[in-house]
Structure 1
Amino acid sequence: MSRKPKLTRFEENVSSKYQIYNSIFMTLPFDEISNTGVLLPLFCEICEKGFAHDKNPSEIMDTFFERYVEKDKTEAEKINLLFRFIQYIERQVVLFDAVEDASFAIVNNMDGRGTLRNIKEEAEEKQKLGALKTHLERFKIRPVLTAHPTQFYPGQVLGIITDLAQAIEKDDLLTIKKLLEQLGKTPFFKKEKPTPYDEAVSLIWYLENVFYHSASKIYNYIQQNIFKGEDFDNQIIDLGFWPGGDRDGNPFVTTEITLKVAERLRSTILLNYHRDIRKLKRRLTFDGVEKRLERLERMLYKNVYLQKEDGMLSLAAFETELKAIRAIVIEKHQSLFSAEIDDIINKVKLFGYHFAMLDIRQDSRVHQGVFENIVETMEAKGNGLFSGNYINATEEEKIGMLSKVMQIIQPEYFKEEITNSTISSIYAMKDIQARNGERGANRYIISNNQSVLHVMEAFAMLRLCDWKQPKVDVSPLFETVPDLQIAHEVMKTLYENELYAAHLKERGNKQYIMLGFSDGTKDGGYLMANWSIFKAKEELTAISREYGIKVIFFDGRGGPPARGGGKTHQFYASLGTTVEDEEIQLTVQGQTISSNFGTLESCQYNLEQLLSSGISNEIFSSATAEFSQDDKKTMETLATVSYDTYVAFKKHPMFLPYLERMSTLKYYAKTNIGSRPSKRSKSKEFNFSDLRAIPFVGSWSQLKQNVPGFYGVGTSLEHLEKEGKFDQVVDLYKNSAFFRTLLENSMMSLTKSFFKLTAYMRENEEFGEFWTIIFEEYERTKRMLLKLTGYKELMENQPAGKASIHAREKIVLPLLTIQQYALRKIQELQKDPIANEKELKTFEKMVTRSLFGNINASRNSA
C-alpha cells in the first residue's frame, strides 16, 4: 500500500490517467464529423471563462459559435454539433468512471480503517476478540438492490465500464483504444422503457459477477481469521432485491414478472454453483469424492441447462453432501483443497437457492381500496368476511374485526385488476418460498404507512390467502415527518394486539420497520428528515425493547445526501446505543450500485465498511455517541427552524412553477431509464404530492442548486448565532458524530452546487426573486458551515472526495451549459409554440439527452 496521501494517490492514478486516456478518446473519429473532439476542449474553455466573467449560457454559446465555428454553418449544423458534444461528454464521464474503478484499490486502503482486517487487529489490541465474535454471531447487513432510476447507463455501457477498468488496470493500450471506439458507437439513449424484468436482469448481473464473489470472500475471511475455521450459524451478509417485487406506483410489476424474477434469481445462483463445482472437480480427483462431485455437477447441469427438476436435492441435503465431501477430504486426503470446499459451502449458506431476498412492496392507499373491494365482493357472494359493517366502522372496530378474519380467498374471485394482482402477489410469495426457500420472499413492505390499520389490513390479507401463520414479516414504511412522529405509537398498539403479537412470536420476536429518507427530505427538508428518522429510531427502539421485540431498521437511502445517502458507513457508526443495530439494512440504487458495488474491490471495501460501522458502534463506541439533553435540545431547535424555513420555501407561490418551467423535471419522464412512471398519479395537473423523490432531487441537481441537501440548514445555524447561542452548536458539533456526518453530507451538496450556471434567472421578472432566495440560503449555509467547522473551504477534510467531485463537475460543465442554453431557447420559442413546433421539439430533445451525463457524473454522491 502506498504511503502517499489519498489525494496524491487520486491525482496520480485517476486525474493523470484520465487526462491521458481522454486525449486518446478525443482523437477517435466516431462519425462523419471529425472535428468534434477538437472543438469540445475549446468549448469547455469558453464555458469556464464565460461563467467566471458572469456570462449567461446563451452569451457563452454565441461567443463559441462566433469564435470557433465557420460563419457559413447553418443553425441545423450548429445544433448537430451540440448533440455531438453531448455524446462525447457522456462518454467522458464513462471513461472517468472506468479510470476511478481501475484505481479503487490504490486510492482506497483495502486494509485501512473500517476494513475487516483493521477491525480484527483493533479487537485483538483492545482484547475484545470475544466480544467481536459474539457480535458477529448475530449481526447482519442487508444491502437491498432497487431499480429506482438514479442512473442512466444501459447494460451495454456498464459492461464497457467494467472491461475498460480492467484494461486500464493492466495499462493495455490496444484494448483501451478498441473499447473507447466501442463506447463511441454504443447508444446511451433507450428508445423504449425497460420492463421490471429487464431491470431485474440488469441488477442480477451485479449479483452474479460481483456480490457472489465479494460477499463470500468476506464471509470466508471472518470464518478463517476470527472464528479460526469453526462453523457459526449466521450469514452476516444477506442480499435483498426489489425489481419484480416492488409494486408501489409501478403498474407494470405483475405476478407473472414476480415469479419470473424469482426463477431468474434461482437459476443464476445454481449456474454459479455449477461453475464452482466444475472447478472443484478438476482438483478433487480422489477416491470417495470424485463420483459424489460428479453427481452434484450433473444435478446442477440438468436443472440449469435442461430445466429438469428430477434428482434435485433440497438445500439442506445439498449442504450436507458438500460437508460430507469435506469430511472425507480432511480425513483421508490431508485436507487438500478443503478451503475451496469451504468456499462453496459458505456460498450455499449465504445465497441458498434464492440468491437474494425478493421483497414485495405496495402502498397503503392501494391496500385500503383493495381491502374494501374484498369486503364488498365477498358480501355480494353471500360469504361476508365480517358480521358487522366494516367499511363504516371506526378504526378501532376495524382492527378488532380484522383480528377475527378466518376465511380463504382466491385471486379469481375478484374482477378488479388491482385486487386480483394484490392477492395473487401474496400467493406468489408462497410459491417462491416453496421453490427457493423461505428466504426467497419473506417480507411484505407497506409504503406510506400511517396507522395500525394499514399494518393490520396487510396482515389480514396474508392470512386470507390460505396462510394461517404467514412465514412473512410485515414491514411498515414510515416516510413523512408526521408519520415518523407517531411511528412508535403505531408499533406500541401492534405489540399489544394479541393476534399480531402471536405472529411476531412465530417470527422470532423480530419486527422489521422501514424508514424512508427520500420522501422525508422532500416533505420536511434535510435536517428535519434526518433528525425525525433518528428520533423515530430511538422511540421505536425503546418501545420495542419494552415489549421484548428486536426491532430491525431498514433504511430507504438514496445516492445523494438529499435522499439519505452520503457517507453511509459514517452515518451508521454515529448512531450510538439508543438505536437498535443488530442489523443494518438499506436500499442501494442506480449510480450507488455501480459506484459502491460495481467492481470486486469496491464491493468488498464498501460491504466491509458497512459491517465495520455496525461493529464499531457496538464494540468500540464510547459514550460520546449519545446525545446529552443540552445537545438534544440544540438539535431539536436546529431541526425545527430548518423545517419551518423549508416548509415556507415549499409554500412559496413560485416553488412549483419554478420546478415546472425552469428545471428539467418534466423531461425525466422522457428518458426511458426506469419502468416506473415518473409521477404517482395520471393527472396532467402538476402537484407536489405526486412528485417522486428521484426526479425531484434530480431536477435540483441538474440546475446545480441541490436545494434538498442544504435548504434550511444555514438559516437554522444563523438563528442560533443571532440569539447568541452559537456555542451550543459548537458543542453539538464536537459531541455528536451523527450531527457531524449530517453536515459533512450537506457540504457535499453545496460542493456540487454552481449558481453561476443559472445566475441569469436573477434578472427574470417572474422568477428572479425566487432564485435569489435559493442563492442566499446557499451562501448562508456555506458561511455558517465554514464558521462552525473552522474550514477555509468546503470538504476540506475530504480532499480526495472533493477532487473527484471537481473533476466530474468540470467534465459536465459544458453539458450543463448546453442544457441551460436549450431551456432558455424553449422559453423563447414557447411564446409562439405552434409556429415554433419543430424547433421546440429539437431543443426539448436536447434537454432530455443532456440529463444523462450529469446524473451519471454524480455517482460519487453515494
Structure 2
Amino acid sequence: MLNDQKIEKFRQIVENKFQIYNSLFMSLPYDKMTNIGMLLPFLYEESKEGYQLGKSPEEIVEDFFQKHTELETEDQKTELLFKIIQYIERQVVLFDSIEDAAFQQLHSESDSGTVMNLYDRATQEHHLAAIRKKMDDFAIKIVFTAHPTQFYPNAVQRIIHDLRDAIINDSVTQIDTLLQQLGKTPFVNKERPTPLDEAMSIIYYLRYVYYQSIGELYRKIKQVYGTSNFTPSPDIIQLGFWPGGDRDGNPFVTADITLKVAEELRISILKDYYGHLKNVRRRLSFRGVSDVLEKLSKKLYASIFQKDVKISAQEIIDQLDEAEKILLEQHNGLFRDVLDDYRDRVKIFGTHFATLDIRQDSRVHQKVVDDIFVKVSGLAVDSKSNDEKINYLLESNAVLNPDDFEDEMTCETLKSIYNIKLIQENNGERGMHRYIISNSDEVKDVMNVYVMMKLCGYSEDEINIDIVPLFETMEGLDKSEEVMRTLYSDEVYKKHLAKRNNKQIIMLGFSDGTKDGGYLKANWQIYTSKEKLTKISEENGMKVVFFDGRGGPPARGGGKTHDFYASQGNTIANNQIELTIQGQTITSVFGNKDQAKFNFEQLLTAGIENDVFKSIKKDLNDKERQLISELADISYKKYSDLKAHPMFVPYLQEMSTLEYYGRTNIGSRPSKRGAGSELKFEDLRAIPFVGSWSQLKQNVPGFFGFGFALRTLKDQGRFDEIKELYKGSDFFKTLVLNSMMSMNKTYFPLTYYMRNNEKFGEFWNVLFSEFELSKAMMLELTDYKILMQEEPINRKSIKIREKIVLPLLSIQQYALIKLQKNEGDRDTYEKLVMRSLFGNINASRNSA
C-alpha cells in the first residue's frame, strides 16, 4: 500500500511535470532543433517496436528515415541524428532537474536511515547513550574523485542547479527562460579539461552545496544528540579530494597543479567564510561584537586576495571566541546560535575545505626509488634486492634535490613530496595528510613512500602523512594480510604508526576488483580481506580505517550504499566509513543540498547502526560463509573463463564504445594504463571498461557468473540453502539486490543483431545466456515477479530514463554498425558514437 502511494506521488510530481515541461521544451525556438520534438516520438516507436521484432539498429534508423523524413543524402541524415542527440541530452537534464526538485517531497526527515529515525529507534530501545559513545569516535568521509563519468560541462551544471530551484518554485517563466538557455548552451567541451578544470568543477559543489548541507546536518546532529555533557565532534563528517592530487596514470597532474588546487581549496573556503560572515554581522550588530567581527572580515578579505596574508582556522576561532565573550557578558547572548553555527563551520572545514590526497601507482614509485638508489649509491640498479635498496637508502643521510634527476617522473614525484609540507603550512595539516599507493601488493610498496619522504629531508617527527596501501586486484587482496602483518612488525614502520596514533588507513578497490574477479567474487574477497585485516590490526594494537574505492554502478562497488555498510558484521572494523564518489554519482546522489544532506545521513547512520543495533543478519555463521565462498568461487571460475575467451577484448574493442572513451573531452586522463598501442585487459581502466558494457546495455560485470553459481548449487539440490542465506544475511541480500539493479538496466534486444555475427555471434550468445540465467535465478531466489520489485520509485525512474535514451542507443549502434562495415564518412560516424556516449551515461544515474 505504501509503495502504491509512493508511485502515485512520483507520477504526480515527477512524471506528470516532465510531460508538461517537455511539451514546453518541444515548442522552444531552438536554432538547430526545430521540429525535433515532433520527430523524436517516431524514432522511439520505431526503436521500441523494431527491437521487439528482432530488427537491427541499422534497419530501425533507416526505417525511421524512410517513413518519417524526406531526407536523401547521408549528410542530411547524419545532421538530423546530431540534432536528435542534442535534443535528448537536454531532455535528460530536464528530467534530472524535475526529479531533483521532487526529492524533498519524496523523502521525509523520519525516513529509514535518517538522523531522526535513528534517534526515535534508539529512544525506544534505550540505546541513546550507546549512540553518543559511538559518535564520539566515528566519522564518515566522502572523497571526490575526478574520474570521467560525468559529461556535463560547468555551464550546464549551473543551469541544472537553477532549473531545479525554478521547478521547486513552479516558476514557469523562469523555467521557460532556462530551457531556452539550455538549448543554446554547448554540452561538449571544445577542449579536454585540465586537472585544474576538473578540480574547479568539483570545488563548485563544495562552495555551493556542501558548505551548507554539511553545516546544516552537523547543526541537526548537535540539536538531536547534544547534551550538557556531550557535543558531537565537528569531524563527524569529512570531505576528501582527489582532482589535482591523483597522479595514478594521469600524466597531466603535476606537482605545480597540486599546489594550485590546494590554494584554490583554501581560497574557496575563505570566500565561503567571508560571505557567511556578512550574514552573521547582520544579526550581531552590537557594540564590541561588531568591532571584532569587522576585524575578522578584513583579515579574511586580505587572506583571499593578498598572497602574503594567511589566516589559520585557529585564528578565526579565537576571534569568534572573543566575540562570544563580549556577546555573553554585555548582550545577554543574543543570537549566540548564529555565532555558534559559524564557528562550527570553521571547525568542520578549517582552511582546507577538503583533504587533498596524493595517489600514485606502486610501479611508478619503484622506478623512482631505483633511480634514486643509482644516484645515491653509484651502484647498478640490479645490484641489490628491493629490500636491500630500502635499507641502504634509510641508512643514507642523502637529501635529494628533484632538479638533479633527468627523469621527469622522478623529478615530479620528489617535488610532490616536498610540496606536502608547504600545503600543510598553508591549509593546515588536514589539508594534506595521505599518500595512497595504487596496485599495492608488497611491503616495499609502502616502504618506498616512507623512504622518499626521508630522502626529501623530512625528519621522523615531520612525516605527518598516512601512507595508504590500495589493494585492488585479486592478487593484491590475497596478499594484503601478509603485507600488513609484516609492516606492523617492521620497527621503522611501527615507529611511524605510533606517531600517527597507531592508526592505519587501508584502501580497497571495488572497481578494479570487480573488473578482475567478477561481481560476487570481488565483493566477497573484499569482505573477507577486511575481516583478516581487522583481526591482524587488532592483534597489533592498530586502529584500522577502511577506505573503499567505490564507483557509481554496482559493477564498480556502488549500489545501495546504506544497505551495504549497514550489513557489515562485527568482524569488520567500523571506525570510519570512507568511500570515493565520482562523476554522475556526485550530481545524482550529492548534487544538491537536500540530496547531499540525506545521503550523508544515510552513511552516518549505517555505520552507527552497525555497532549499536546488533542483528544476527549482519554476522555470518560458518555455514553461511562456506556457502558464499562456494558461490563466489564458482562465479569467479565462470567469469575467468569469459575473460580468457579469445573474443573478450576484441569484442569490447570492435563492438562497443571502449575505443571512444579516451577521445571524448570529458576527463583529463587516458582511458587505459600503459603506453603500448595493443589493448591488454590488465591496462583497461575500470570506468571505460564498465561504461562500455553499460553503453551496450549489457552490464556484464554486474551479474556475470552469479546466475551460473546459483544454478550450479540448485542442480545439486541445495537451492533451499541459498534461500536461507538470502533471508538470513543482509550482506548477501545486498549483493543480490545490487546485481538486480545492474540487470534492470540491461536491454539485450538492442544488440540482438550481434547473435548472427560471424566473428562475435557465439560470444554474444554466451553473454545473453548468462543474463537470462542470472535473471531467472535471482527472481526465483527472491520470489519477485520483476527485478527491483521492492523499489518502485527507483524502478520507475529507470524506466523513464531508459525510454528517453532508447533513440540515442539506436543512433549509437547505427553509427557503430556503419563503422564496422566501413560505410560512409568515418569521422562523422565516430562523432555520432562519442556524442551519444554523453546522454546515455548522464541518464543512468540511479546507481548508488
**TM-score (normalised: structure 2):** 0.98
Rounded Cα–Cα distance in structure 2 between residues aligned with 1:478 and 1:424: 25
Structure 2 stretches lacking a partner, 5+ long: none
Paired position in structure 2 for 1:833: none
- The amino acid across from 1:393 in the alignment is K
* 1:483 to 2:481 alignment: no
- The amino acid across from 1:462 in the alignment is M
- The amino acid across from 1:262 in the alignment is A
1:435-474 pair list within 5 angstroms: 435-469=426-460, 470-474=463-467
Rounded Cα–Cα distance in structure 1 between residues aligned with 2:38 and 2:90: 15
Question: Does the residue aligned with 1:624 lie in a helix, a strand or coil?
Answer: coil
1:639-678 pair list within 5 angstroms: 639-678=632-671
TM-superposed deviation, 1:847: 0.7
- The amino acid across from 1:198 in the alignment is D
Which of 774, 793, 799 is 1:806 aligned to? Answer: 799
Moved more, 594-603 or 312-321: 312-321
Rounded Cα–Cα distance in structure 2 between residues aligned with 1:402 and 1:74: 69
Rounded Cα–Cα distance in structure 1 between residues aligned with 2:27 and 2:822: 36
The C-alpha deviation readout for 1:405-436, integer Å capped at 9, x for no partner, is 44321212212110010001011111000111
Paired position in structure 2 for 1:851: 837
Rounded Cα–Cα distance in structure 2 between residues aligned with 1:473 and 1:401: 23
TM-superposed deviation, 1:235: 1.1
Question: Does the residue aligned with 1:623 lie in a helix, a strand or coil?
Answer: coil
Kept after mapping to 2: 8 A contact 1:89/1:815: yes
Rounded Cα–Cα distance in structure 1 between residues aligned with 2:670 and 2:285: 55
Q: Residues 525 and 568 (structure 1 numbering): CA distance in 2 closer, same or farther, change over 3 Å?
A: same
Moved more, 620-629 or 269-278: 620-629
Rounded Cα–Cα distance in structure 2 between residues aligned with 1:679 and 1:278: 47
1:293-304 pair list within 5 angstroms: 293-304=293-304
Rounded Cα–Cα distance in structure 1 between residues aligned with 2:418 and 2:721: 55
Rounded Cα–Cα distance in structure 1 between residues aligned with 2:582 and 2:199: 12
- The amino acid across from 1:291 in the alignment is D
Kept after mapping to 1: 8 A contact 2:312/2:351: no
Paired position in structure 1 for 2:828: 842
1:343-362 pair list within 5 angstroms: 343-362=341-360
Paired position in structure 1 for 2:142: 143
Kept after mapping to 1: 8 A contact 2:545/2:574: yes
Rounded Cα–Cα distance in structure 1 between residues aligned with 2:392 and 2:728: 49
TM-superposed deviation, 1:281: 1.1
Paired position in structure 2 for 1:636: 629
Question: Does the residue aligned with 1:324 lie in a helix, a strand or coil?
Answer: helix
Kept after mapping to 2: 8 A contact 1:138/1:234: no
Rounded Cα–Cα distance in structure 2 between residues aligned with 1:392 and 1:267: 48
Rounded Cα–Cα distance in structure 1 between residues aligned with 2:822 and 2:381: 56
- The amino acid across from 1:415 in the alignment is E
Question: Does the residue aligned with 2:552 lie in a helix, a strand or coil?
Answer: coil
Kept after mapping to 1: 8 A contact 2:373/2:389: no
TM-superposed deviation, 1:231: 4.2
- The amino acid across from 1:61 in the alignment is V
Rounded Cα–Cα distance in structure 2 between residues aligned with 1:407 and 1:305: 39
1:523-534 pair list within 5 angstroms: 523-534=516-527
Moved more, 809-818 or 462-471: 462-471
Question: Does the residue aligned with 1:257 lie in a helix, a strand or coil?
Answer: helix
Paired position in structure 1 for 2:109: 110
Moved more, 686-695 or 229-238: 229-238
- The amino acid across from 2:275 in the alignment is R
Question: Does the residue aligned with 1:796 lie in a helix, a strand or coil?
Answer: coil
TM-superposed deviation, 1:9: 2.0
Question: Does the residue aligned with 2:395 lie in a helix, a strand or coil?
Answer: coil
Paired position in structure 1 for 2:720: 727
Paired position in structure 2 for 1:314: 312
Moved more, 391-400 or 497-506: 391-400
Kept after mapping to 1: 8 A contact 2:32/2:83: no
The C-alpha deviation readout for 1:248-294, integer Å capped at 9, x for no partner, is 00111111110000000000101111111121111111122111011
TM-superposed deviation, 1:349: 0.7
Rounded Cα–Cα distance in structure 2 between residues aligned with 1:463 and 1:370: 14
Paired position in structure 1 for 2:327: 329
Which of 413, 419, 441 is 2:410 aligned to? Answer: 419
Paired position in structure 2 for 1:190: 189
- The amino acid across from 2:370 in the alignment is E
- The amino acid across from 1:856 in the alignment is N
Q: Residues 625 and 402 (structure 1 numbering): CA distance in 2 closer, same or farther, change over 3 Å?
A: farther
Question: Does the residue aligned with 2:31 lie in a helix, a strand or coil?
Answer: coil
* 1:15 to 2:7 alignment: no
Rounded Cα–Cα distance in structure 2 between residues aligned with 1:127 and 1:464: 54
TM-superposed deviation, 1:109: 2.4
Q: Residues 524 and 3 (structure 1 numbering): CA distance in 2 closer, same or farther, change over 3 Å?
A: closer
Question: Does the residue aligned with 1:859 lie in a helix, a strand or coil?
Answer: coil
* 1:100 to 2:99 alignment: yes
Paired position in structure 2 for 1:379: 377
Rounded Cα–Cα distance in structure 2 between residues aligned with 1:136 and 1:463: 36
Identity across the alignment (%): 52
1:409-808 pair list within 5 angstroms: 409-469=400-460, 470-808=463-801
Q: Residues 354 and 250 (structure 1 numbering): CA distance in 2 closer, same or farther, change over 3 Å?
A: same
Kept after mapping to 1: 8 A contact 2:135/2:232: no
Rounded Cα–Cα distance in structure 2 between residues aligned with 1:658 and 1:4: 42
Structure 1 stretches lacking a partner, 5+ long: 831-835
Rounded Cα–Cα distance in structure 2 between residues aligned with 1:343 and 1:538: 39
TM-superposed deviation, 1:682: 2.1
- The amino acid across from 1:133 in the alignment is R
Paired position in structure 2 for 1:30: 30
Rounded Cα–Cα distance in structure 2 between residues aligned with 1:268 and 1:792: 50
TM-superposed deviation, 1:396: 4.7
Question: Does the residue aligned with 2:235 lie in a helix, a strand or coil?
Answer: coil
- The amino acid across from 1:624 in the alignment is K
Q: Residues 287 and 528 (structure 1 numbering): CA distance in 2 closer, same or farther, change over 3 Å?
A: same
- The amino acid across from 2:302 in the alignment is K
Moved more, 19-28 or 778-787: 19-28
Kept after mapping to 1: 8 A contact 2:163/2:175: yes
TM-superposed deviation, 1:681: 1.6
